[in-house]
Structure formats: C-alpha cells, structure tokens
Amino acid sequence: MMTQITSVQAAILAINSLALGGLLFLLSSGFSLIFGLMRIPNLMHGSFFMLGAYFGVTLLSWGTNFWLAAVLSGLAVAAIGGVIERLLLRRLEGQVLPQVLLTLGFAFIIADVCLMVWTGDPSQPSAPAELRGAVQAFGMFFPLYRLAILGVAVVIAIALWIMVDWTRLGAMIRAGVDDPPIARVVGIKVSRLFTLIFCLGAALAAFAGVMGAPYLSVYPGLDFEMLPLALIVVILGGSGSLLGTLVGSFLIGFLYNFGQAMFRDLAYVILFLPMLLVLVLRPQGLFGRNVA
Amino acid sequence: MTRKLRYAAIAIALALLATLPMWMGNSYYINIASQFLLFAVFALALNVLVGYAGLVSLGHAGLFAIAGYSGALMLQAGYGHLVADSAALAITLVASAVFAALALRSTGIGFLMITLALGQIVWGVAYRWASLTNGDNGVNVSTRPAPFGLSLTSAPSFYFATLIVFLLAIASMAVFVRSPFGASLRGTRDQARRMNALGYNVWLIRFLAIVFSGFWTGVSGLLFIYYNQFISPQVSALTSSAEVLLMVISGGTATLFGPVAGAAIVVIMKNVVSAYIERWNLVLGVIFVVIITFMPEGLVPGSVRLVRWAWGKLQAKPGAAAAQPSKLPSEERVP
C-alpha cells in the first residue's frame, strides 16, 4: 500500500506542501477569527473560498490584473458575508444550533448558485504572467507561483499578528471577545467590530480562493472539501490562536501532499489523524488557551 | 380531552399506515412511504441527541453509511443476511462509541465541529479508499432478506417490514423518553453542572445516549441499503447529515412525533422538488434560512403559530372596537 518516494520527489512535495500550507493559513486564519474569537460556527467558510475563487475566475476572464482580481473578489465576498452577518447571524448571538443551520443553509445556497452560474466544469485560471516560470536551485526547478503563495501567506500572517497583538484595533477586538459588556461600557462598539472581523474573515477566505485557483483549480464541491480542512487546522492549532493556525496549516499541508504520494487510498483519512490525537491528548489544541 | 384526542390521532395514523399499500395502489408511492419510514427511524435516532441530549451531531450520515457499507460489503462477500446485518450493527455500535469518545471531549460548537470532521472521515474512506469501498461506483446489494420465509421483493412487503421496524423504533423511543435514563439525559441537557453535583456521571449518560442513537442510525442504514439495493459515498456526505438534521428540527425537537413529521415533510418535498427542478440543495438551503429566520421553534409548531397569528389578525379586524374597552379597566386597576 505504501509507495516509496525519492529525495527529488520529496523536495517537490515539500514545496507543494509549503504552498498548500500557505493557502490553508489564508483560509483558516479567517475561520479562526470567526470561529475561534467570535464563537460563530461558520459553515459557509468553504463557500466563501469557492465563491471568491469563482469571482476571481470571472474577473480574470475579463482581463483584470491577477492581484486586483484577488482583492476585488475578497471585497465582494466580504460584502456578502457582512450582509449575512449584520442582517441574520447577528440576531442569533450565542445560539449555536440556529447559527449552524443558517450558515449551512447559505452554504447549500451558494453551492447551488455557483453550479448554476459557473456550471459544473472545473476551471483553472493561469497564474499571473510574472510568476509563471520556475526558479532553479540545488539542481531542481521550483514553480515560482507556489513560492509566491507561501510569500503572500507569510506577509498576511505577519500583518494579522501585528493587527491583533500590537494595534489599538487588536486590543479592542480582544477586549470585545473577552468581555463584551465591559468593552461596551468603555465605549468600544463591539457589534460593529464583530461585523468587521466577520468581513475580514470572509475576505481572507475569498482571497485564498483566488490565490488557490491556479493551483487547485475551481470546481463544484471545493467548498465542502476546504471547510473540513479549515476545521482541522483550527482544532489542531487551538481556536483563536494565530500561531496555532500557522503551525496547523503547514502540518496539514505536508500531511496532505506526502500522504497523497505515499498512501494514496488513505490520504484523506491520514489528514484527520493529528486532529484526533490532539483531541484525545490536548483538547484545547496545540496552542489553544485553556478555556472552560 | 387532549389526551383522548392524542390517542385518537395516533390510532388513526396507525390505521392509515397499516393499510397504506391498500389505498395507495401505485408502487411508486408505496416506495416513497417506505423511504419516509426508514428516514423517520434515522430522524428519531438523531433526535435522541439533538432533542434530548442537547448535542447537535453533523456526522450522523457517517454512522448511517458505516452500517450501510458494512452490511453491503459483507453481503457482497457472500455472508448471509443475518450474519451481515448483525455484524454491521456491531460495527456501527463500536463506531458510535469511538465517535462518542472523541466528540465528547467537547460540547456545544466543539461537539458539532468534531462530529462534522468525523463524518467527513467516513466520507473520505467511502469515496477515496476505492479498493475497499469501490469508490464513486458504490456497492450493489443484490438481494433483500426473506425473514421467516417471507419475501420482501415487492414494494408492499418491504413497506410492511419497514413499518414494523419503524414501530419498534418509536416504541423504544417512547420507553426511553419515559425511563429514568431519559430523564437523566434531559437533566444533562438542561443543567449539566447540577446533574454532576447530584452524583450523575454526565459523560457516561451522554456516551450511552450516543451509542443508543447510533444503534437506530445503524438500523436505518441497513433498511436503506435493502430499500435502494445500492450504496454510494453520497450517503455519507455532509448534505445527508444536514438533511436528517432538517427532519429533526423542522418537526420540532425533543418531541416523539416531531422527527416523524419532519421526515415525512422532507422526503415528500425532496421527491416532489426533484421531479420538477434539479436544485434540491438550493431548496434545502432556503428552507434552513427561512426556518431559522421566521420560525425558530420548528416548521410544524412555527407554521401553526404563523397561521394562528394570521387568523387572529383576520378575526381582530371587525372586532377591534369591541376589544378595546375590555382592555381599559384592567389598566386602571394597576395602582
């Protein structure tokens, strides 16, 4: 059942793993903000990713610049997420079951609407022209675009870390999450802040979708394939922890690629093993805070 | 009076169900009725968790598929129906215990997310482990069993067999709800900390509830493979878990007959909708959103409330002037 791999294959797999890890971080950091910080079980997160990717496909087919397309599609999905949060999710604060059903309902709606608009055929936009080549190092060729995904993920990780840990906005978010009534008393607009975080999470997912499109391609079902991945990353890393999300993303990235190459039949199952281990040994996640 | 009405309603429903193949005639509709009954068993099983334990599982389609696949694969390997079915149920019980042990590391959102992930693992095995499960092509079940020499190949005979299993399931639910165990389970739902302080083992109660729910889920999974004579990974997908959850909440949770009504609504709607448009998922999603936004207590109680409210508005219009004076004195009485 196990397939042997050579060291050259291993190096290529490692690059792919880093790229997938970066992509997973973009996806899961948004999920971690929404699920980990705001405690909203957002089952639309995979749908945000897929919708973003499809928006990207359309924008790119109109000849938009790749990065502009990624940002625009992020903004569009952020707006959709914001409307759903503001008008519907907001009324269900603290009620888990209704939140789950509402987000699940929208996930189904988005999936079917995407199928209607973009049909069932997979589409794979090409990477931006300047990143189409490969770099040569250690006698091997590494595709430039995959390295670029990694680079973007690192930049966004640093930006998020600075925002949450070092800015006034981050302090307000942390206060709003830890003790909403007191935060309101000192004049923080918690409700507006939460909408902002939700939009940010949705935008990150959609941005990841566009970034991932040239690599993974976009097809129906992508949404429910990505959602569990975001879920295991966050359970693994500990909810609400950016560092945990980062470590979890790369762990899953490596496991996915190497598992795919070595245990083809079981690759998908292997992905869940570290999550199960963490649940048994350390339920709050690798870097999670110990919350009751 | 209401109790008598209730018994009368149950008796009428039973009589209708028992004679259904005689007045339904067309075997297509009899098959839909069998579908409704087997999904009602599934919904009843999930309601043990969602309604009485306050634990929302989004991975129950995984358990359903484990039972179905184990049964189908053993039948394909040449085992008899009795052996295959008992083994499938045993495997499902073990799987439920594993699900329970992992998912009960957490409650609330955590429980839900872990069950979702576990359900996806089952889907992954069913879909990707092609050498075991035949992947996307699924597994065929060539024959239906013939208990006591009675063949179940015709639509009415299979319907009656499903009806018997359904009645057993609902009877076991009635016993379970009234039992001390059922009461303690509701206790863990409403006041987990107090139950713990009273000396109840909250974890064990929840664990047993999940295994009990897993048993009936397994039974419905076996009914499903015999009904369809085929199983594919689609059965274990998140959509299936969501569908059965819709059955539970649309009928009203924590009631004995709510999930049954919900199963009827969803199965009929699915068959009707699928006959006209391909977009069942879209309809499912819209129903979820509408239920949550307009009738959070469930489709059946919610519709009753909305109809009453609309009726009340209609009635109030001509009598509005008469209603006002009666309101004033009561306000004056306030010191």
Please check whether residue B96 is in contact with residue B215, taking contact to mean a CB–CB distance below 8 angstroms.
Answer: yes
Domain annotation covers residue A291: no
Contact assessment for residue B218 and residue B70, using Cβ atoms and an 8 Å cutoff:
no
Judged against a pLDDT cut of 60, whether residue B179 lies above it is answered with: yes
Residues of A in contact with B131 (CB under 8 A): 265
Nearest C-alpha of chain A: how many angstroms from B70?
Answer: 18
Q: How many CB pairs under 8 A join A and B?
A: 114
* DSSP strand pairing (A140-143 vs B139-140): unpaired
Gyration radius from chain B CA atoms: 22
pLDDT tens-digit profile, chain A (292 residues) = 567 778 778 888 888 899 999 999 999 999 988 887 788 889 999 999 999 999 999 999 998 899 999 999 999 999 999 999 999 888 888 787 788 889 989 999 999 999 999 988 898 888 887 777 777 766 677 788 888 899 999 999 999 999 988 899 888 888 888 888 888 888 888 888 889 999 999 999 999 999 999 988 899 988 888 988 998 898 888 877 888 899 999 999 999 888 888 887 777 788 888 888 887 787 777 777 654 3
Single-letter residue type at A178: D
> What is the domain-level CATH number for residue A243?
1.10.3470
**For residue A281, how far is the Cα from the chain centroid?**
25
Q: Is B135 exposed, middle or buried (0-12, 13-18, 19+ CB in 10 A)?
A: middle
In whole angstroms, what is the distance from residue B200 CA to residue B328 CA?
52
pTM: 0.84
Maximum Cα interatomic distance, chain B, rounded to a whole number of Å: 83
- Scanning every residue of chain B, which has its alpha carbon at the shortest distance from the alpha carbon of A115? B279
Residue B238 with chain A: CB contacts under 8 Å: 224
Closest chain A residue to the Cα of B133, Cα to Cα? A265
Residue of A nearest to B56 (CA): A97
Measured at the CA of B289, the angle between CA B286 and CA B294, to 5 degrees, comes to: 120
CA A190 – CA A196 distance, rounded (Å): 10
Q: What is the residue range of A26's domain?
A: 7-281
State how beta strands A140-143 and A134-137 pair.
antiparallel
> Coil, strand, or helix at residue B165?
helix
Identify the pLDDT of residue B297: 67
B112 chain-A contacts, CB cut-off 8 A = 41, 96, 100
Per-residue pLDDT at A268: 78
Identify the pLDDT of residue A191: 86
Alpha helices by DSSP H, chain B: 2-24, 27-47, 60-76, 81-103, 109-128, 130-133, 155-178, 180-190, 192-197, 202-228, 238-251, 258-276, 280-294, 299-316, 320-332
ipTM above 0.90, yes or no: no
Is A128 among the domain residues?
yes
pLDDT of residue B323: 43
Distance CA B117, CA A20 (A): 20
Domain count, chain A: 1
Q: Which of residues 74-113 of A touch B (CB under 8 A)?
A: 88, 92, 96-98, 100-102, 104-113
Which residue of B lies nearest to A96 if distances are taken between CA atoms? B109
Dist CA A251 CA A266 (whole Å):
17
- Helix (H) or strand (E) holding A143, with range, is strand A140-143
**Residue at A289 is within a domain:** no
Interface residue ranges in chain B relative to chain A, Cβ cutoff 8 Å: 50, 56, 58, 102, 105-106, 108-110, 112-114, 116-118, 120-121, 124-125, 127-132, 237-239, 242, 245-246, 249, 279, 281-282, 284-289, 291-293, 296
Distances (CA, A) of A115 to A33, A215, A219, B92, B108: 28, 20, 9, 35, 32
Residue A292 within any structural domain of the chain: no
Considering the domain boundaries, does residue A59 fall inside one? Answer: yes
Whether the CB of A228 is below 8 Å from some CB of chain B: the reply is yes
